[in-house]
Amino acid sequence: MRRSQNETRLDVAGLLAHGSLRGTTPLYLAPASGVIESVVLVSQLEAIRQVRPNTVVVLSTEMGSGGWLVSAALRHAWERRASAVVVAGSAYASAAVGLAERLGITVLVADGDPAALALALAAEIGAALSVVDAELARVARTIAKDTTLGDVLKTISGELDGAGVLLEYDGVVVTSAGMPPRETDEVITVEVDGANSAVRFTLTARVPTSGVHNLRLVGSILEVATPAVKAAWLSEDLLSTARAVPTAAIAALDQDPDASGEEFEEKHRHLLNQLGWREGEPYMSLWFRSAPVQEHRPELTAVLRLLWRKVAVRSPLAEVQGGWLTLVPAGDQDASTQLETRIRTRLGPALAELGLVAGLSRWQEDVPALALIVREARLAAESARSAGPGTVLSFASLGVVAATTFVDVDAVALVAELALPRLMASPDRDVIITSVAAFLDHRGSVSLAAKSLNLHRNTLQARLNRARELGVPLDVPSELLSVHLIAKVLRRSMPEETTSEDPMENQK
Amino acid sequence: MSTVLTIEDVRNLRTGAHFLACTIDPTAIYVYAEMIERAMEDRSLELITVDELAPDDLVVAVGMVTQGLFIADMPPVGDEFLGCIRAIEANLGRSVRAIYSLAAANINGIVPLMVGLQSSLPVIDSDPMGRVFPLISQTTLNVGNVAIGPIALMGVTGERAVVEVENPQRAETLVRALVTELGGWAATAMYPCSAQQLKEHGVHGSISRMIRIGQILDASTPVKRKLLLLTELLGATRIARARVSHIESLSRPADLGLPAQPSSLTLDDETTGRIIRLEIQNEILLVLVDGAITAAVPDMVTLLNSEHGTVVNIDDVQVGDVMDIVKIKAAEQWYTEAGLDLTEPKAFGIPIGHPRRRHA
């Protein structure tokens, strides 16, 4: 591409050496490169005010070439960032050289008719543009041969001398190729029009500022590549959907929550074998879902699949009821730890931006039934929702605490209001509840609880007595679980003052 | 309120008339000032405002029209203007009650004083240009649709013509042709009108302003102070203090309708590096600073010696001279659409509009 860019890029120096400006005499040559993109033949000074940057302004003969005229033309041309001003040959023009030098704008004297020169230059610019068109057609043909999104982006990047090329969805880089981005890069972006009207995909090229790239040409290349990007994406998505069928089937088949893992395997053994699942092979299950309740976004599946490839290329991602599911082979504990780390580092930020959370099943030596690890991942994902978008939660770190996720918080709070009215009305309510929670967290040990709260033992004891006075049944063993639950729920709605070892609190 | 002018006033007027038209050889102004001073020894000269006249009083503009010949090269006999006024009176069948200057600068700024002394007519402190323009059609009276004719002309040989004409452009052509035939210059009386018309369409305070300018410039105060006082009096601004780097004559194609040849000056502002270009034809028509229009007719532009604060003659400028380029706003009438039509650079063969047009 570099070779052809040099061919399509016209500049003053080049055209003076062997182009249509050869017949002119430079009165002053600006040190800057002087890129030429268009030419204008003007017969009125005011017309220069409308020229585009990188234009050669040719003053027609009828306009004259008085010193004042050249001066004013130089000024206008400079204001419009023109490439050069061409004037008819005359003794007057030389007076303006000082001004040209001051403004840093090239002045050329046409030996013949300036109009003829403008025509020749226009032809040359036209020829260069047709080279650009031919080049774009070649790029389009090359890219059309690629079948995967990765290859398409790699080819685009190659055409741009290895420049970084990114496909983004809603600001999240879905996939990329070429050099990593730098702050000084020029960013050229085109929109990739989705099949539905909600356009969120953009194709971006980041080219070094110092490079030889013609930015308009870069934009054109991206536009030409857009259909190939869409096609590759759609075909990949179709393929992924097909590959994800066995995964989707597990979620679909596991409809009976009462059935144990063995029962599930027993019942669907034949079908699971048909789908390619082999008994005794260890897997980890990963469940993605929206953190808040969101309307269904069909394109999200495709986006998530592209992102998922950053973690595990071979495990297909299936869109299932209530989220997305994938099963990843994990031979040992280390593999499972690595997987979890990879998910957090490579997907965490993107999940946060997309408003998603992820739940991961435990790794177990004795290879539990697929349905069980899927259930674990789903529960972990469900628990992760309360901690906000971007959370990746492993069932291993959750255990039975997951149960509290499914407690109806509002109902518990209502119970507290009705059953413990004196506690709820007390001004020192928050302090008492914190104390009770800490006391129960430490299995009724006043010493440990006081230490965890940074309090003296006697202080805590006094607060617990106060709780008893307010009607909290701390001394009735059968009611302790309920008290503990109420204390937990009420603490969630408190301002965060005290630290806690509560895993549920840690999720926040 | 009428004022009797003193010899000191005449000297100041001379300087002021030169300041407002710095580009022209001032010899004739000095010749006339001297004649006026002598004549004042036994007569007094009255300067009146247009309000002091009855609205119907006939007033007429007097002024020299030249075509290539300096007046100092062939001085007038002396009776030329009186002959013109008589011709106007005969043509209109009425007596002229007062005279006014055709222009408020250069020789025509001072001529009416001599004519006033000769004719015993009072001189009105008004004029139809508020400055000097090369063409007799470039007047605020023309903008106000006051008739230019009948025009009386009298040359050095005593030949006299009265041109009855309505169209000011046509009057220009006829008068230019006659002046050439009359010997290169002619005394003229034109724009005969009522005091009321002059009051409505003229520029007022022109003579007293020139006297005040002379007072400022001829005083022995530092240049800086003079510039300050001029700024206050005229709303003048200094465009630059710059050194002449290049002089060009015949810098533009000459327009046949315009007297005098075009020339240009290029100056360098040594403190800022700006390049200033002056386009001249009789007077400074256009000032470009780094190619951008900074002043254009009808703005007045004058040059002052940076060291002495004296007015610089364009004819005497040499490469290396340092001068202050001063811009003065012209009379408000000139910045109207009709005013700009008559006097913006396009009227002088420079195909650009006045910058004020864009903001209109």
Q: Give how far the C-alpha of residue A60 lies from the chain's centroid of Cα atoms, to the nearest Å.
A: 53
Q: Which residue of B has its CA nearest to A70?
A: B291
CA B314 to CA A96: how far, in whole Å? Answer: 21
Strands B123-124 and B46-48, sheet pairing: parallel
Min Cα distance B252 → chain A (Å) is 5
For an interface test with A, the pick among B243, B276, B290, B319 (most A C-beta atoms closer than 10 Å) comes out as B290
Q: By the CB < 8 Å criterion, does A92 face chain B?
A: yes
| Contacts B352 to A, Cβ<8 Å | 45-46, 72
Cβ A103–B273 below 8 Å, yes or no? Answer: no
pLDDT by position in tens, chain A (length 508):
444 444 567 888 888 888 888 888 888 888 876 888 889 999 888 889 889 988 999 988 887 767 788 888 999 999 999 999 998 876 655 667 888 888 999 988 888 888 888 999 999 888 888 888 888 888 888 888 888 888 888 888 888 888 888 888 777 787 888 877 777 777 888 888 755 545 577 888 888 776 556 677 788 888 888 888 888 888 888 888 888 888 887 777 777 777 777 777 777 777 777 777 777 778 888 888 887 666 666 778 878 888 887 777 778 888 887 788 888 887 788 877 888 888 888 888 888 888 888 888 887 777 777 778 888 888 888 887 777 788 888 887 776 766 776 777 778 788 878 888 888 888 888 888 888 888 888 888 888 888 888 888 888 888 888 888 888 887 888 888 888 888 887 877 776 554 444 444 433 3
| Contacts B252 to A, Cβ<8 Å | 64, 66, 68, 92
Q: By the CB < 8 Å criterion, does A103 face chain B?
A: yes
Q: How many CB pairs under 8 A join A and B?
A: 65
Cβ B291–A98 below 8 Å, yes or no? Answer: no
User: Minimal CA–CA distance to A320: which of A394, A405, A253?
Assistant: A253
CATH tag for B3-206 (out of 3.30.479.30, 3.40.1610.10, 3.40.50.1580, 3.30.360.10): 3.40.1610.10
Q: Give how far the C-alpha of residue B10 lies from the chain's centroid of Cα atoms, to the nearest Å.
A: 16
Q: Residue A343 class from Cβ within 10 Å (0-12 exposed, 13-18 middle, 19+ buried)?
A: buried
Q: By the CB < 8 Å criterion, does A493 face chain B?
A: no
- Residue A64 half-sphere exposure, CB side, CA atoms within 13 Å? 16
Sort residue B210 into left (φ over 0), alpha (ψ -120 to 50) or beta: alpha
What pLDDT score does A475 carry?
Answer: 81
Min Cα distance B275 → chain A (Å) is 6
Long-range contacts of A350-353 (CB under 8 A, 24+ apart): A350/A172, A350/A173, A350/A307, A351/A288, A351/A389, A351/A390, A351/A391, A351/A392, A352/A389, A352/A390, A353/A170, A353/A171, A353/A172, A353/A389, A353/A390
Write the single-letter amino acid at A25. T
Cβ B266–A95 below 8 Å, yes or no? Answer: yes
Q: Report pTM.
A: 0.59
In which residue are the tokens 């055409």 written? Answer: A159
Q: By the CB < 8 Å criterion, does A267 face chain B?
A: no
CA B203 to CA B180: how far, in whole Å? Answer: 29
| Contacts A78 to B, Cβ<8 Å | 291
Of B248, B268, B352, the CB nearest to A72: B352
Of B251, B274, B351, the CB nearest to A67: B251
Of B251, B290, B350, the CB nearest to A75: B290
Task: Centre a 10 Å sphere on the Cβ of residue A388 and count the other Cβ atoms it contains.
Answer: 14
Q: By the CB < 8 Å criterion, does A45 face chain B?
A: yes
HEC letters along A410-475: HHHHHHHHHHCHHHHHCCCHHHHHHHHHHHHHCCCCHHHHHHHCCCCHHHHHHHHHHHHHCCCCCC
CA A203 to CA A209: how far, in whole Å? Answer: 18
Write the single-letter amino acid at B306. S
Full DSSP string of A217-236: HHHHHHHHHHHHHHHHHHHH
Q: By the CB < 8 Å criterion, does A75 face chain B?
A: yes
Given a contact cutoff of 8 angstroms between Cβ atoms, the answer to whether A154 and A147 are in contact is: no
| Contacts B273 to A, Cβ<8 Å | 102
Q: By the CB < 8 Å criterion, does B252 face chain A?
A: yes
Residue A64 to residues A68, A75, B133, B162, B347, Cα–Cα distance (Å): 10, 16, 25, 40, 17
Min Cα distance B283 → chain A (Å) is 15
Q: What would the pLDDT profile of B191-204 be if each residue is shown by its tens digit?
A: 999 999 999 999 99
Q: Residue A325 — φ and ψ, nearest 5°? A: -130, 140
Min Cα distance B290 → chain A (Å) is 6
Q: Token pair of A491, please?
A: 């603490």
Given a contact cutoff of 8 angstroms between Cβ atoms, the answer to whether A503 and A398 are in contact is: yes
What pLDDT score does B260 carry?
Answer: 56
Crossing angle between the packed helical segments A215-243 and A114-144, to the nearest 10 degrees: 10
CA B1 to CA A39: how far, in whole Å? Answer: 64
Map residue B177 onto helix, strand or coil: helix
Task: Centre a 10 Å sphere on the Cβ of residue B112 and count the other Cβ atoms it contains.
Answer: 27
Q: What would the pLDDT profile of B34-79 be if each residue is shown by its tens digit?
A: 889 888 888 888 899 999 999 999 999 999 998 766 666 777 888 8
Task: Centre a 10 Å sphere on the Cβ of residue A168 and count the other Cβ atoms it contains.
Answer: 18
Cβ A102–B290 below 8 Å, yes or no? Answer: yes
Cβ B253–A92 below 8 Å, yes or no? Answer: no
Tell me the ipTM for this assembly.
0.78
User: Minimal CA–CA distance to B141: which of B328, B297, B334?
Assistant: B334
CA B85 to CA B63: how far, in whole Å? Answer: 11
Which secondary-structure segment (H or E) carries A391? none
Full DSSP string of A90-146: -SGGGGGHHHHHHHT-EEEEESS-HHHHHHHHHHHHHHHHHHHHHHHHHHHHHHHT-
Q: By the CB < 8 Å criterion, does B290 face chain A?
A: yes
Q: By the CB < 8 Å criterion, does A95 face chain B?
A: yes
Alpha helices in B271-354 (DSSP H): 337-343
In which residue are the tokens 């440990």 written? Answer: A448
Of B245, B277, B292, the CB nearest to A67: B277
Residue extent(s) of CATH 3.40.1610.10 domains in chain B: 3-206
Residue extent(s) of CATH 2.40.390 domains in chain B: 227-359
Q: Which residue of A has its CA nearest to B355?
A: A46
CATH T-level fold of B227-359: CV3147-like (2.40.390)
Q: By the CB < 8 Å criterion, does B352 face chain A?
A: yes
| B contact residues 172-191, partner A, Cβ 8 Å cutoff | none
| Contacts B274 to A, Cβ<8 Å | 102
For an interface test with A, the pick among B243, B248, B344 (most A C-beta atoms closer than 10 Å) comes out as B248
Q: By the CB < 8 Å criterion, does A67 face chain B?
A: yes
CA B119 to CA B112: how far, in whole Å? Answer: 10
Task: Centre a 10 Å sphere on the Cβ of residue A217 and count the other Cβ atoms it contains.
Answer: 20
| Contacts A48 to B, Cβ<8 Å | none
Q: Which residues of A32-62 are buried (b: 16+ CB within 10 A; e: fewer)?
A: eebebbbbbbbeebebbeebeebbbbbbbbe
Cβ B251–A92 below 8 Å, yes or no? Answer: yes
Domains of chain A: 2-125 (3.40.1390.20), 145-240 (3.30.450.30), 245-405 (3.30.70), 409-506 (1.10.10.2840)
Q: Which residue of B has its CA nearest to A103?
A: B290
Given a contact cutoff of 8 angstroms between Cβ atoms, the answer to whether A212 and A187 are in contact is: no
Of B248, B290, B292, the CB nearest to A95: B248
| Contacts A92 to B, Cβ<8 Å | 248, 251-252
For an interface test with A, the pick among B261, B279, B288, B294 (most A C-beta atoms closer than 10 Å) comes out as B288
Q: Token pair of B102, please?
A: 């055709």
| A contact residues 191-210, partner B, Cβ 8 Å cutoff | none
CA B325 to CA B297: how far, in whole Å? Answer: 14
Q: By the CB < 8 Å criterion, does A71 face chain B?
A: yes
CA A420 to CA A432: how far, in whole Å? Answer: 12
Full DSSP string of A238-305: HHHHHHTHHHHHHHHH---TTS-HHHHHHHHHHHHHHTT--TT--EEEEEEEESS-----THHHHHHH
What are the start-end ranges of the E strands in chain B?
3-4, 46-48, 58-66, 96-101, 123-124, 126-127, 151-154, 160-163, 185-194, 203-204, 237-249, 263-268, 275-281, 283-289, 292-296, 300-305, 322-328
CA B199 to CA B207: how far, in whole Å? Answer: 15
Cβ B251–A45 below 8 Å, yes or no? Answer: no
Q: Residue B57 — φ and ψ, nearest 5°? A: -55, 140
Cβ B291–A66 below 8 Å, yes or no? Answer: no
Low-confidence ranges of chain B (pLDDT < 70): 1, 22-25, 68-72, 250-262, 358-360
CA A115 to CA A108: how far, in whole Å? Answer: 14
Q: Residue A141 — φ and ψ, nearest 5°? A: -65, -45
Q: Who's near A309: CB < 8 A, 6+ residues apart?
A: A175
Map residue A351 onto helix, strand or coil: helix
For an interface test with B, the pick among A42, A61, A71 (most B C-beta atoms closer than 10 Å) comes out as A71
Q: By the CB < 8 Å criterion, does B253 face chain A?
A: yes
Of A44, A71, A78, the CB nearest to B288: A71
CA A357 to CA A386: how far, in whole Å? Answer: 10
